[in-house]
A and B are shown apart, each in its own frame.
Chain A
Amino acid sequence: MTTSARDEVLRRIRTALGRTGGAAPQPSPVPRDYRTSLGQEPGAPGLLDLLVDRLVDYKATVHRCAPDAVGATVAAALAARGARRLAAPSGLPAGWLAAADVETVTDGAAQDGGALPVATLDAVDGVVTGCAVAVAQTGTIVLDSSPDCGRRALTLVPDYHLIVVRADQVVGSVPEALPRLDPDRPLTWVSGPSATSDIELDRVEGVHGPRTLVVVLVEG
């Protein structure tokens, strides 16, 4: 029996490092003199403005509204889109689609046959979800497959994605976002609609992921 590839590769690494047995070295200290925070509380007005500025820069559509106007704002956005049939995750807050004149299929719900097949997701007019965290400085929204975000396929196959972001979910920078996320959950970091710059470095929005990204930012 020859050595396993695993043992062999590990042996090679130790040889290359000149380590012949003995304990592993301690982690070396990493100088973390960079900014770990923008210094503003989640949801601070300055962060919300920054997030909107970044999202618009990525060609996402942004609507800002008060907490009691989420249903009406979502309904207006869907009407403007002409969306008739929507997919939603099982834990979408009740009020979000209450005012919308749409048919809803719920992923994972028994009455809709459990997990929605890809073909169904491909045929709906769009999907509405919440999010886990938003990063103002980079215009990023993170989906974490919690009940109001849903499975990853749900927010990938439909061509239109509307995300409701609550002000208290908006942090300043990437270092502020990571501690709020659970690495055991599948995560999707979304910064604008899908895009490519592969042809002469010209950015084209909308390739394989949802081509339209709409964000409803709930303030106050």
Chain B
Amino acid sequence: MTTFLGMPGLPVATERGTLRGPDTFPVAARRALADTQLRKNLGHATSTIRAKRARVVGELDDWEELRAAGAAIKADVMARLPELLVQLEENVTARGGHVHWARDADEANRIVLDLVRAAGTPDDPVTSVVKVKSMATQEIGLNEALAEAGIAAVETDLAELIVQLSDDTPSHILVPAIHRNRAEIRQIFLDHMPDVDPGLTDEPRVLAMAARAYLRRTFLAARVAVSGANFAIAETGTLAVVESEGNGRMCLTLPQTLVTVMGIEKLLPTWRDLEVFLQLLPRSSTGERMNPYTSMWTGAPRTSDGAPDGPQEFHLVLLDNGRTATLADEAGRQALHCIRCSACLNVCPVYERTGGHAYGSVYPGPIGAVLTPQLAGMHGHGADAPAGGDPVDSLPYASSLCGACFDACPVRIDIPSMLVHLRAKHVETAQAQRRVPGLPASAENAAMSAAAWVMQDAGRFSFAERGLQLGRLLARDGRIRSLPPPLSAWTTSRDVPAPPAETFRKWWARTRGDRS
């Protein structure tokens, strides 16, 4: 597969189908937009969480200073990544843990599988593991890889459980079942949860208690847990997992073996840095002053009396899988600063309408639109591009560039600028592959090529038009400063008048009675 404008020797992520969906964004988005129930669920959920976040962020008069510190710490991490990773490894190892390195998804899956197997005996093999919600393990398709080897991975986060039971895919980073309402969740439990009370109501409390009962025995008997990590402290070797339900504590405490899979970018240099991120993350993600539970452990943890406290077999798997390829692009590497709070999803007018599935990646929303193309690589219009266009190539266009994501981001990731940058790169790649000679890679050039790509296809074009309608909502004083494709690159240097309430195509369709 194509390494998009890659540096030699910096391969993009291996494909397990979790980053590149089956359809381009406009196609998938159109399908999602037709689902009124989905739009209702999303609208309710995102507006609720936006209000909660705004309230708790408003309580801190030093929020902007915290954001600035968060951004600076992450930039420092990237600049010193090799040294900090080695320091982390030393500290984890010195305290009884083991560190593994994985170049890509397949290698990470193999490492985890070997560790799970090693935790059992020939007479008593491990046939299931409990899991704490983790984006990294979703990205590498770990559950599927374990299943192929006959090992069941039980998701223990309530929303992940809902997704897993219904054989669905997550649609939000933080609330993976955000696209489901209570009635749908009740039905999923009735259909798929063994021994569930048939008198189950759709009260959230009743549903949560059903999940508690279902998972309790599994937790108490689990021998191996697999987790992700929110933070790892290079200076101390400490890992941190931030959660709400206590399923994380169960997984991180009760089994004998714990395997944590973490992207290499999740590091923080010092213990003190937690004072910034433990303030930024909960307020940005769930809109709480603090999440109910945060677990921190270092190596094979011991109490102050020296007694074992939690898994004494601890393995940390450090994952590349396209992250170094992302790091190579100076204008794109900020995407690695992301702490997966999901604030940018909740404020995004595009995400709010299409939901997460339309992005076709485990990383949806604004951050997904910049992270996925860099991790997985774009195809341009090359010979190996899938028919109908590469779904990943369409992601940098899945935005109206309104800027809400930047304002919400706790580490000040400039997603809008990165989207423009990736659009330009996409067009340049496409041009290079079509051997269009002599055209400088100017903004207008990029805009025109992007326009050509959009206009080639009626579906893409009508999606872009819907973006224009959105532009109307975003216009101030009848001007808008940034446009969705095809004209986005124009508006980096000019304003455009707000579009009319009805597009020509809509007017034509209406007056001609033609619905196509």
With A153-B253, A208-B249 given, is the CB distance from A146 to B304 under 8 Å?
yes
With A15-B328, A184-B298 given, is the CB distance from A194 to B318 under 8 Å?
no
Smallest CB-CB separation from B295: which chain A residue?
A188
With A8-B103, A194-B293, A201-B49 given, is the CB distance from A24 to B274 under 8 Å?
no
Residues of B within 8 A of A196 (CB): 158, 208, 244-245
Q: Is the CB–CB distance between B208 and A204 below 8 Å?
A: yes
Chain A interfacial residues counted at CB < 8 A = 80
Residues of A within 8 A of B302 (CB): 145, 185-186
Using an 8 Å CB-CB cutoff, how does the interface string of A190-210 with B read, 1 for contact, 0 for none? 111111111111101011111
Chain B, range 284-316, C-beta contacts under 8 Å to A: 286, 288-298, 301-305, 307, 309-310
Chain A, range 112-163, C-beta contacts under 8 Å to B: 115, 118-119, 122, 135, 137-140, 144-147, 150-153, 156-157
Q: Is the CB–CB distance between B246 and A156 below 8 Å?
A: yes
Residue A187 at the chain B interface, CB threshold 8 Å = yes
Our count of residue pairs bridging A and B at CB distance below 8 angstroms stands at 274
Checking A10, A36, A138, A199 against B207 with a beta-carbon cut-off of 8 angstroms, the contacting residue is: A199
A213 to B481, CA, bound (A): 51
With A12-B320, A13-B81, A119-B220 given, is the CB distance from A175 to B275 under 8 Å?
yes
Which of B30-38, B68-76, B143-151, B397-405 forms contacts with chain A? B68-76
Q: Is the CB–CB distance between B208 and A15 below 8 Å?
A: no
Q: Is the CB–CB distance between B157 and A27 below 8 Å?
A: no
Q: Is the CB–CB distance between B181 and A15 below 8 Å?
A: no
Residue B476 at the chain A interface, CB threshold 8 Å = no
Residues of A within 8 A of B81 (CB): 13, 17
- Give chain A's interface residues, CB within 8 Å of chain B: 4-6, 8-17, 19, 24-25, 27-36, 54, 58, 90, 108, 115, 118-119, 122, 135, 137-140, 144-147, 150-153, 156-157, 174-175, 178-179, 182-202, 204, 206-210
- Give chain B's interface residues, CB within 8 Å of chain A: 7, 9-10, 41, 44-45, 48-49, 52, 61-62, 65-66, 68-69, 72-73, 75-76, 78-83, 85-86, 95, 100-103, 107, 156-159, 162, 175, 177-178, 181-182, 185, 204-205, 207-208, 211-212, 215-216, 219-220, 233, 236-238, 244-247, 249-250, 253-254, 264, 269, 271-276, 278-279, 282, 286, 288-298, 301-305, 307, 309-310, 318, 320, 324-325, 327-328, 333
Q: List 12 A-B contacts (CB under 8 A).
A: A10-B85, A15-B7, A118-B254, A119-B220, A139-B289, A185-B304, A186-B310, A188-B294, A189-B278, A194-B293, A196-B158, A207-B247
